[in-house]
Amino acid sequence: MNSKPLHSKYIKRNISGVLLLDKPHGISSNRALQIIKRSYAASKAGHTGTLDPLATGLLPICLGEATKFSSALLGADKTYEAVMRLGYISTTGDAEGEISVVGDMKLMSQNIGQVLQDFTGNITQIPPMYSALKHQGKSLYTYAREGVEIERKSRQVTIYDLKIDALVGEEMFIKIRCSTGTYIRTLAEDIGRALGCGGAYLTALRRSAVHDFGLSQSYTLDQIEGMSLPQRDICLYSTDSLLHNFSAVTLESVQVKILLQGQIVTSPVSANGLIVGEKVRMYDTEENFLGLGEVTAEGEIAPKRLISDGTLTAREDQS
């Protein structure tokens, strides 16, 4: 990976779009974000869900106007590939912590499939101390590093799919599709205990999908840094690619003018059949994305978040 220093002084562009980054091992999500922001000379950037420095994989990064809609992926389902070492626990839940032996592989349940099945559906987790969850304005991992234990409330998450890919010695390779807010380190520890091994910790974690986006669509930092600026721009998905699970409506030119004044648009033909309270993607007759609206009454749409004018956007055929 190119380790050229970041410079605060460069010409910033109003570029908008979504880059699907394959985050490498060993750097924080924020560090990866800053590298991409500089690579694109973007005036604004944000990511859609933190990956730990030791984790790798899909990190969608929003540039410019796309940052307005990043929350669409913050709550999206995610898929992970994890490697857990059975019979041991770690103070951090991963390979960075102090490792202790807590069990014996000989005592492991032979009915692994049933144990994993028991962890599918709605389950309850207690967030780990080594997490970014805040307490009185400070992340829990800050307290953990100071040796302070904070009481945490349990929370419900959903495991949609959980399966074993391989069992090699003490290491189990699993694949998980889960709701947002799921702590994979906690899941590994709980599975290790349920298998009769006393616990487990993660030796590797890779995020392979976020909603409909997958690693096959992503780029590495090395790939991006090896490109010219026009080549980098082609790698961006359009801003509205974040919102494809919402219905789309087309507005006539008069309705577009009304919308851009922040007023409710009445009776767009394409809105027929939509439900009150439903969020919708809005376009003009030339298929330019205008922003996100909400159906407030039958045949009426109120603007929620609109695209600003004068922004260089990613190519529509990338969405």
Which CATH number does the domain housing residue 225 bear? 3.30.2350.10
What is the value of pTM for the model shown? 0.87
261 vs 144, more confident: 261
Q: What is the mean pLDDT of residues 133-162?
A: 82
Residues 144 and 186 in one domain: yes
Confidence band for 319, pLDDT divided at 50, 70 and 90: very low
94 and 165 fall within a common domain: yes
Output 105 or 291, whichever has higher pLDDT.
291
Catalytic, out of 22, 52, 190, 233: 52
Identify whether residues 250 and 205 lie together within a single domain: no
Which is more confidently placed, 155 or 145?
155
The whole-angstrom separation of Cα 288 and Cα 308 is 12
Query: Which band of pLDDT confidence, cut at 50, 70 and 90, is reported for residue 203?
Result: very high
The reply to whether 202 falls in a domain is yes
- Domain end position, chosen among 190, 225, 240: 240
Quick check: is 52 catalytic?
yes
What confidence score (pLDDT) does residue 83 get?
98
Report which of 106, 89, 85, 108 is spatially closest to residue 195, judged by C-alpha positions.
108
Asked, for residue 288, whether it belongs to a domain, the answer is yes
Q: Can you read off the two tokens belonging to residue 302?
A: 């109120």
Beta-strand relationship, 121-125 and 78-86:
unpaired
Instruction: Classify residue 108 by burial, with Cβ atoms within 10 Å: 0-12, 13-18, 19+.
Output: buried
What pLDDT was estimated at residue 270? 65
Same domain, 138 and 199: yes
Flag whether 6 is in a domain: no
- Does residue 9 belong to any structural domain of this protein? no
Same domain, 192 and 159: yes
Q: What is the mean pLDDT of residues 301-313?
A: 76
For residues 291, 296, 298, 301, the Cα torsion angle rounded to the nearest 10 degrees is -20
Specify if 7 maps to a domain: no
The number of domains in the chain is: 3
- Name which of 29-38, 47-56, 80-89, 170-179 the model is least confident about: 47-56
Query: Euclidean distance between the first and final Cα of the chain, in Å?
Result: 27
Q: Is residue 3 part of a domain?
A: no
pLDDT in tens, 19-55: 999 999 999 999 999 999 999 999 999 998 888 888 9
Classify burial at 173, counting beta carbons within 10 Å of its beta carbon; exposed 0-12, middle 13-18, buried 19 or more.
middle
Q: Evaluate whether 139 touches 128 at the Cβ level (below 8 Å).
A: no
Torsion, CA 39, CA 41, CA 44, CA 47, rounded to 10: -10
